Structure 1
Amino acid sequence: MKSPAMGVWTSRLQEASVRVRGASGRVKVWAQERSARRAHEAPTAAESTNPVYILAAITLGIPALLLIPLVGMNPGVQDGTFTTVVTFLVASAFVTAAVFEIKRLADQRSDADKH
Structure 2
Amino acid sequence: MKKTIMITGFNILLAAGLVFLLFVYEGPKKSQPVSANGNVTASASTENAEDIVGKNCITCHGDQLQGGAGPALSKIGSKYNQSEIEHIIKNGKNGMPAGVISGDDVAVVAKWLSEKK
Q: Does the alignment reach a TM-score above 0.5?
A: no
Higher RCO (C-alpha 8 Å, min separation 6): 2
Greater Cα radius of gyration, structure 1 or 2? 1
If each structure's helix is expressed as a fraction of its own residues, which one has the higher value?
A: 1
